[in-house]
């Protein structure tokens, strides 16, 4: 390939070091798509003849289907996927194939391929996120009345419902989809093809044509930036890191909830493992791995940021290192979601245990104070009385519900028989009807919003097909 400038062959170790085919071969379809549009533009602009353009386009189509069908294997000795496709084209149609690389460079080619590849893959990720939302909503719907303790500082705080708790993750995941959309629309929607090596070209190319053929809104503005920008990869990997962070927090709860200490859920056997020595064990390995793999994706983000930080403009070979990081982040997230979705869909909520846990820990102490406030006491005074009642209960091994009316009255004359209703767990959850709160009606509103989100997502995706 370098014939012309160089005489000697690359040292085999250096060749190995330099080659990216092992990992960039997965972008073959995107590479070919880019080349097809480039050839069409060269033909339209009279840079190559229309017949040559057509021959190139047809042959690239054949190469693509041969690769798809496994009739053609990618040469592991090629330097990268761009070289391989071009070499294969030239092998098939000779000199005409050699015209494809006019007004183009591997620098703008690779910048394009990664964008196209990421764009395809993020569609898959968004669809998986949507599926996860659907799975969570289903469990939330069935458990919108399942009372459990809500925590702050991992101390029982106030009663909530399991449905409400789950819907918090739905809010996070909906934001995640928004973040990915944002990176796609703001960052990835500019076509670098035609930036060439770095400076643009002397040929009379039509960058708007290739941009629109490839589905971009516009060509990127500056050719130096076009070949050296990887912001979109960073933004997407940051968005993926945030998704993983959310899955990791959820995993942590799933791990806690399946412990004997909590026992709020039972994982399906298909998503838990045993121990080779302790016969009684059922381990939440999938959730632990989701938590663990979050570290990898953060690492990938750091790789990208660090790789780019000292690079002068424009292209530098360091940038070849972007792919393994991006691919690892993508693969890790996809694999994690594929296990996470059915794990959540099949987990069994143990509502009795949740309720029992909610009965301990005085999580209705706020409701006791609120009761006094509604009877006219300022909140701070009510707070103090409620605290004194809790201290009294602890001393006498009682719950607030178990106190007699006389005991209540000994702290404040405002207490009456309706206090029992006010501090009941059902009432404590169901009267929190404020927007976003834990009451059934409020959780139902959250569920409706999520369902609308899923429906509009499906409509959008369907329209794109
Ligand atoms: N394999 C290279 C990469 O991934 C393609 C671009 C090579 N460009 C060059 N001037 N050597 O970055």
Which residue has the least CA distance to atom 3 on ligand 1? 320
Which pLDDT belongs to residue 3?
65
For residue 192, what pLDDT band results from cuts at 50, 70 and 90? very high
DSSP character at residue 9: P
pLDDT digits (tens, 9 = 90+) for 29-76: 999 999 999 999 999 999 999 999 999 999 999 999 999 999 999 999
Which pLDDT belongs to residue 2?
59
Asked whether the predicted pLDDT for residue 6 surpasses 90, the reply is no
Distance CA 378, CA 125 (A): 51
Distance CA 302, CA 314 (A): 21
415, two tokens: 């207490």
Do 365-423 and 12-102 have the same topology in CATH?
Answer: no
Phi, psi of 144 (to 5 degrees): -70, -10
pLDDT digits (tens, 9 = 90+) for 85-120: 999 999 999 999 999 999 999 999 999 999 999 999
Residues annotated as catalytic (active site), given as ranges: 153, 275
Which pLDDT belongs to residue 217?
96
Q: What is the mean pLDDT of residues 211-226?
A: 97
Asked whether the predicted pLDDT for residue 465 surpasses 90, the reply is no
- The pTM of the full predicted model, rounded to 2 decimals, is 0.94
Distance CA 376, CA 382 (A): 9
Assess contact for 81 and 28: CB atoms under 8 A: yes
For domain 12-102, the CATH architecture is Orthogonal Bundle (1.10)
SS3 state of residue 147: strand
Which residue has the least CA distance to atom 2 on ligand 1? 320
Which residue has the least CA distance to atom 11 on ligand 1? 317
| Burial grade of 256 (CB within 10 A; 0-12, 13-18, 19 or more) | middle
Q: Average per-residue pLDDT in the chain?
A: 95
185, two tokens: 């629309």
Distance CA 206, CA 221 (A): 13
Which pLDDT belongs to residue 1?
62
CATH class of the structural domain 107-202+216-357: mainly alpha
Which pLDDT belongs to residue 202?
97
Ligand 1 centroid to residue 23 C-alpha, Å:
13
Best probe residue, ligand 1, of 25, 101, 107, 313 (max atoms within 8 Å of C-beta): 107
Asked whether the predicted pLDDT for residue 4 surpasses 90, the reply is no
pLDDT digits (tens, 9 = 90+) for 238-268: 999 999 999 999 999 999 999 999 999 999 9
270, two tokens: 């298909």
Which pLDDT belongs to residue 422?
93
For residue 276, what pLDDT band results from cuts at 50, 70 and 90? confident
Asked whether the predicted pLDDT for residue 141 surpasses 80, the reply is yes
Which pLDDT belongs to residue 249?
98
**Which residues contact ligand 1 via a Cβ below 6 A?**
20, 24, 80, 106-107, 110, 315, 317, 319-320
Distance CA 300, CA 293 (A): 11
Residue extents of the structural domains in the chain: 12-102, 107-202+216-357, 365-423
SS3 state of residue 95: helix
DSSP-assigned beta bridge partners for residue 393: none
Among the listed residues 37, 189, 50, 21, the one whose alpha carbon sits nearest the alpha carbon of residue 103 = 37
Assess contact for 39 and 100: CB atoms under 8 A: yes
Ligand 1 centroid to residue 15 C-alpha, Å:
13
The correct CATH number of 365-423 out of 3.40.220.10, 1.10.40.30, 1.10.10.10, 2.40.10.120 is: 1.10.40.30
Distance CA 91, CA 385 (A): 88
Q: What is the mean pLDDT of residues 114-128?
A: 96
DSSP character at residue 273: B
Which pLDDT belongs to residue 464?
62
Best probe residue, ligand 1, of 320, 322, 325 (max atoms within 8 Å of C-beta): 320
Assess contact for 251 and 288: CB atoms under 8 A: yes
To the nearest 5 percent, what fractions of the chain are helix, strand and coil?
65, 5, 30
Instruction: Note the Cα 308 to chain centre separation in Å.
Output: 23
Q: What is the mean pLDDT of residues 119-131?
A: 96
| Burial grade of 179 (CB within 10 A; 0-12, 13-18, 19 or more) | middle
Percent of the chain with pLDDT over 90: 92
Q: What is the mean pLDDT of residues 280-292?
A: 93
Asked whether the predicted pLDDT for residue 393 surpasses 70, the reply is yes
Query: What is the number of other CB atoms lying within 10 angstroms of the CB of residue 296?
Result: 18
Instruction: Note the Cα 27 to chain centre separation in Å.
Output: 21
Q: Output b/e per residue, 36-72; b: 16+ Cβ within 10 A.
A: bbbbbbbbbeebbeeebbebbbebbeebbeebeeeeb
383, two tokens: 């707070």
Asked whether the predicted pLDDT for residue 461 surpasses 70, the reply is yes
Which pLDDT belongs to residue 9?
87
Distance CA 439, CA 443 (A): 6
Instruction: Note the Cα 398 to chain centre separation in Å.
Output: 46
Distance CA 425, CA 158 (A): 9
For residue 301, what pLDDT band results from cuts at 50, 70 and 90? very high
DSSP character at residue 185: I
């Amino acid at each position: 390939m370098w014939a012309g400038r160089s005489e000697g062959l690359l040292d085999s170790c250096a060749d190995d070091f330099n080659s990216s085919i092992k990992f960039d071969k997965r972008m073959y379809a995107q590479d070919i798509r880019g080349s097809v549009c480039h050839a069409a533009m060269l033909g339209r602009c009279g840079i190559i003849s229309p017949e040559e353009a057509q021959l190139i386009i047809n042959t690239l189509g054949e190469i693509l289907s041969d690769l798809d069908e496994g009739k053609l294997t990618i040469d592991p000795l090629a330097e990268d996927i761009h070289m391989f496709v071009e070499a294969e084209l030239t092998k098939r149609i000779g000199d005409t194939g050699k015209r494809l690389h006019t007004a183009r460079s591997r620098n703008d080619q690779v910048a394009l391929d990664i964008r196209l590849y990421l764009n395809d893959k993020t569609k898959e990720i968004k669809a998986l996120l949507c599926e996860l939302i659907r799975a969570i909503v289903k469990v939330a719907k069935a458990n919108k009345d399942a009372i459990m303790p809500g925590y702050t500082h991992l101390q029982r705080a106030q009663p909530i419902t399991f449905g409400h708790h789950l819907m918090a993750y739905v809010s996070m995941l909906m934001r995640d989809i928004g973040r990915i959309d944002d990176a796609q629309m703001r960052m990835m929607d500019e076509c670098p093809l035609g930036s060439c090596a770095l400076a643009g070209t002397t040929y009379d190319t039509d960058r708007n044509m290739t941009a629109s053929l490839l589905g971009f809104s516009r060509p990127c503005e500056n050719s130096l930036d076009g070949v050296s920008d990887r912001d979109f990869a960073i933004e997407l990997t940051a968005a993926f890191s945030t998704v993983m962070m959310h899955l990791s927090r959820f995993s942590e709860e799933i791990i806690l909830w399946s412990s004997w200490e909590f026992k709020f859920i039972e994982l399906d056997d298909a998503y838990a493992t045993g121990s080779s020595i302790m016969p009684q064990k059922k381990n939440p390995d999938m959730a632990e791995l989701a938590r663990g793999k979050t570290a990898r994706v953060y690492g990938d983000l750091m790789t990208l940021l660090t790789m780019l930080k000292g690079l002068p403009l424009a292209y530098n070979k360091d940038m070849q290192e972007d792919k393994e990081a991006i691919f690892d982040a993508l693969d890790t997230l996809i694999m994690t979601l594929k296990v996470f979705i059915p794990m959540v869909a099949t987990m069994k909520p143990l509502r009795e245990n949740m309720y029992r846990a909610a009965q301990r820990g005085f999580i209705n102490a706020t409701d006791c104070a609120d009761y006094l406030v509604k009877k006219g006491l300022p909140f701070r005074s009510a707070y103090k009385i409620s605290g004194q009642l809790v201290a009294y209960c602890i001393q006498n091994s009682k719950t607030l519900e178990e106190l007699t009316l006389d005991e209540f009255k000994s702290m404040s004359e405002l207490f009456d028989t309706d206090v029992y209703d006010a501090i009941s767990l059902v009432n404590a959850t169901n009267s929190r009807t404020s927007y976003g709160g834990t009451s059934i009606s409020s959780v139902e509103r959250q569920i409706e919003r999520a369902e609308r989100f899923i429906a509009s997502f499906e409509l959008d995706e369907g329209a794109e097909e």
